[in-house]
């Protein structure tokens, strides 16, 4: 029993130093982890803020289109569809049969 007390008395200071060093290193690692997480969060927040600003600009443009031009937007869209259908019908290459026969 006396030997066990002596062993504990001799090893206790070494264990205390080891514990203090280990706790200090764990604290530094945790601080680095927190800093990295905060940096990543701030980058994502900046990206979200940029995206929100772009979307707000687009909404303002759409509001301006609707309020400035009135409600004839549907008519304009249908007119664009009509012209696209005509263009697709003429998408082929003209043969010019009359000019080939003359040549």
The reported pLDDT for the residue numbered 84 is 61
**pLDDT tens figures, 2-56:** 788 888 888 888 899 999 999 999 999 999 999 888 888 888 998 999 999 999 9
Q: Is the pLDDT of residue 76 over 80?
A: no
**Burial status of residue 40 (CB atoms within 10 A of its CB: 0-12, 13-18, 19 or more):** exposed
Cα three-residue angle 84-90-95, rounded to 5 degrees: 165
- pLDDT for 103: 43
- What are the residues whose beta carbons fall under 8 Å from the beta carbon of 65, sequence distance 6 or more? 73
Instruction: Report domain extents, the chain.
Output: 2-86
Residues 79 and 71: their CA atoms lie apart, in Å, by: 14
pLDDT for residue 28: 94
Q: Is the pLDDT of residue 74 over 80?
A: no
Task: Kindly state the average pLDDT of the residues 53-73.
Answer: 79
Lowest mean pLDDT across 38-42, 67-71, 72-76, 94-98: 94-98
State the angle between helix axes of 2-69 and 73-89 in degrees (0 to 180), rounded to the nearest 10.
Answer: 90
Q: Tens digits of per-residue pLDDT, 81-103? A: 776 655 555 555 544 545 444 44
């Amino acid at each position: 029993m006396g030997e066990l007390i002596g062993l504990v008395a001799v090893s206790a200071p070494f264990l205390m130093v080891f514990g203090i060093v280990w706790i200090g290193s764990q604290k530094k690692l945790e601080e680095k982890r927190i800093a990295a997480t905060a940096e990543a969060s701030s980058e994502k927040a900046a990206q979200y803020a940029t995206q929100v600003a772009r979307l707000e600009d687009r909404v303002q443009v759409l509001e301006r289109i609707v309020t400035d031009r009135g409600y004839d937007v549907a008519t304009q869209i249908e007119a664009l569809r009509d012209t696209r259908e005509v263009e697709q019908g003429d998408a082929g290459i003209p043969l010019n049969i009359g000019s080939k026969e003359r040549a």
